[in-house]
Amino acid sequence: CHLIHYLRLSHHLVVINYLIYTFDKLKSVSSEDINITDAVFDGVEVRVFEPPAKGDERLKRSVVYIHGGGWALASARTSLYNNLCRIMAESLNAVVVSVEYRRVPEVCFPEQFHDALRATKHFLQPDVLAEYSVDPSRIAISGDSAGGNLAAAVCQQLSKDERLTIRPKLQALIYPVLQAFDFNTPSYQQNMNMPILPRFVMINYWIDYFNGNYDLAHSLLINNHTALDVGQALSFRGRLNWTSLLPSSFKKSYKPVIQTTGKAEIIEEIPALLDVRAVPLLAENETLQLQPKTYILTCENDVLRDDGVMYAKRLENAGVDVTLDHFEDCFHGCMIFTIWPTDFSAGIQTRNSYIKWLDENL
């Protein structure tokens, strides 16, 4: 795939997605228990999973789900996410709306954010909720990895929109990617070569998301973009101080990597590195105070572990009710691997814990 990209025959992400869809893409076929339909919400494609009505039940709870894949890979229609959303709809007896946002390289930030926001705001309209028989007081927004990033960013934006009459009751974030400020948190150092999501792959996902230059990867890796002499980053440093936000069991013996002199031109070239719509962990406390009850799932063997743990701590400090669900023996992306031949016990374990929390709180 990278050779094809190098020869300029196509973008490597396009090739990877083509291979995924060739082997995996599903038709919109409903199961016996769940009605699955494709729709368009304010110009954004979505897949809706609706369980049948039970008895005299009038309104159902609902989850807006945003899939992961580095803002570039996978789809609401692939079997892994189709299966997850179907099981959520069945287990929770809930309407699940899976957002099919546009991906890199077709579009870059902030378009993925805008797609997720538009689709969610459309669904939150009273007449749309009534069409799907959804209780407006029992809606969650959720996502995994890059989808967790979009879910957190959308939730922050919704909380500040005074025109909205309906907002999510909960947010549930699965090993979310929440910051590009520090690529040397303890989990980034500990898991830098961990399969599924090594550190250099996550940095490249960020570069692709921001339509940046791969030549910046090394400077980002050593935190040149947030060095002490980079004025644009100074006001954000206190919001992401892992030495105070992480428990000692996560910090271990790792040391902060803070450059004295760096490259301010990186932020000038990619200002989105400090845009809270892309990096929700950097949001101000006033925004965090507005967030709904929150669930965050993290895995020990994951470069993004500390992103989720720090966000949980910042939300807790802001007065938000937070559940941090940490798994010592699990890895990034594990929750969607529940279908043969990748039906891992880690996937079943994390998925069951996530659905159990939603069932008890939504």
Does the annotation mark 145 as catalytic? yes
Helix axes 79-92, 345-361, angle to 10 degrees: 40
107-141, pLDDT tens digit by residue?
A: 999 999 999 999 999 999 999 999 999 999 999 99
Q: Which of 75, 142, 145, 187 is catalytic?
A: 145
Average pLDDT of the chain to the nearest whole number: 91
Instruction: Report yes or no: 319 and 330 within 8 Å, Cβ to Cβ.
Output: no
Give the closest residue to 236 by CA, choosing from 201, 280, 206.
280
How far is the C-alpha of 71 from the C-alpha of 108, rounded, in Å? 8
- The highest-level CATH class for domain 28-180+272-361 is alpha beta
pLDDT digits (tens, 9 = 90+) for 172-215: 999 999 999 999 999 999 999 998 899 999 999 999 999 999 99
Percent of the chain with pLDDT over 90: 83
Give the pLDDT confidence score for residue 345 in this predicted structure. 85
pLDDT score, position 195: 86
What does pTM read for this prediction?
Answer: 0.93
302 is an active site residue: yes
The pLDDT value recorded for residue 254 is 97
> Where residue 17 falls among pLDDT bands split at 50, 70, 90?
very low
pLDDT digits (tens, 9 = 90+) for 227-266: 999 999 999 999 999 999 999 999 999 999 999 999 999 9
**Catalytic annotation, pick one of 115, 144, 208, 302:** 302
Contacts 24+ apart (CB under 8 A), 55-59: 58/133, 59/133, 59/134, 59/135, 59/138
Helix (H, G, I), strand (E, B) or coil at 255: coil
Phi and psi angles of residue 296, each rounded to the nearest 5 degrees, phi first: -130, 125
346 pLDDT tier (thresholds 50, 70, 90): confident
